[in-house]
Homo-oligomer: A and B are copies of this chain.
Amino acid sequence: MLGLLQHACGIDPKANLAATLESARAAARDGAQIICTQELFGTQYFCQSENHGNYGLAEPIHPNPGPTTQAFQTLAREEKVVVIASIFEQRAPGLFHNTAAIIDADGALLGIYRKMHIPDDPLYYEKFYFTPGDVGDVNNSGFRAWETAFGKIGVLICWDQWYPEAARLTALAGAEIILIPTAIGWHPAEKAAEGAVQCDAWQTIQRSHAIANGCFVAAVNRIGHETPAGGEGIEFWGQSFVAAPSGEVIAQAAADQPETLLVQADLTQVHEARTHWPFLRDRRIDAYGGLTERFLD
């Protein structure tokens, strides 16, 4: 059973961590086996401005786990659950990533996933903060899948969710569940005119990954209206959800309420979907070379 932790973030990182640990423990006790946080749950979404002070929010993960990773390793071991925890990582002085720690049910740090696609948009100034994940480096970056105690999983982070290439590579690596911590919301000035279409596009592209790859996709988003840089800020749209390999949304949280989504993911559906819609059988790998080009002009 998946446990997706959707909530609002306050100003105090310690309180955010404590609340997330508490939700994770409650989810475990309610039967969750694979627990996933929202993106950068430890803080408000600081990327709304380019502020050098925010680098101080980062902590190490690999090879020497920092306090947040350690806290979830302890929880994972005690509760016998898999945890995907999204953390602002300092890899070295001046080198930062938007990273997820993948922790197995015995508390071992199975690996990390460093966000590969980094956005840069008004109020989402991530290219200022995060170096994109490396390809196939020794720290287990790049698109990957991990055999956990409760299934083979892959992780993508937020902006990655718009790239079919990312989902495909994660599925080809063996993932049967793709978990996607995210932080996405409405610009308050756009919400009335474009909010519904934006939200629907966000869910549609992720459902399409489930369909194309015959796997589960679980997106975990935050809620709350945050204005850490002043101005109108961002109203995070919540609506964390799980899509089955058929593309069906089998669970969805509210747009404005904290919620732990507990969702049964029957992995036999992966075999069922992939044999009845046998897309992996017919990929034209001889014809896909152009995908490593920027544009075919």
Binding site for B on A (CB under 8 A): 116-119, 121, 132, 135, 142-143, 159, 162-166, 168-169, 172-174, 197, 200-201, 204-205, 207-208, 211-212, 246-248, 277-280, 282-297
Do A211 and B207 have beta carbons less than 8 Å apart? no
- Copies of this protein, total: 2
What residue in chain B is nearest A134 (Cβ atoms)?
B287
- Shortest CB distance A239–B (Å): 16
What residue in chain B is nearest A142 (Cβ atoms)?
B287
What residue in chain B is nearest A208 (Cβ atoms)?
B208
How far is it, in angstroms, between the C-alpha of A291 and the C-alpha of B163 when the chains are bound?
13
Do B197 and A204 have beta carbons less than 8 Å apart? no
Partner of A247 from the list B119, B201, B290 (CB cut-off 8 Å) is B201
Chain A to chain B contacts (Cβ below 8 Å), 11 pairs: A135-B284, A164-B164, A164-B165, A165-B284, A173-B296, A174-B297, A197-B247, A201-B211, A201-B277, A289-B292, A291-B292
Do B211 and A165 have beta carbons less than 8 Å apart? no
Do A165 and B168 have beta carbons less than 8 Å apart? yes
- Shortest CB distance A170–B (Å): 9
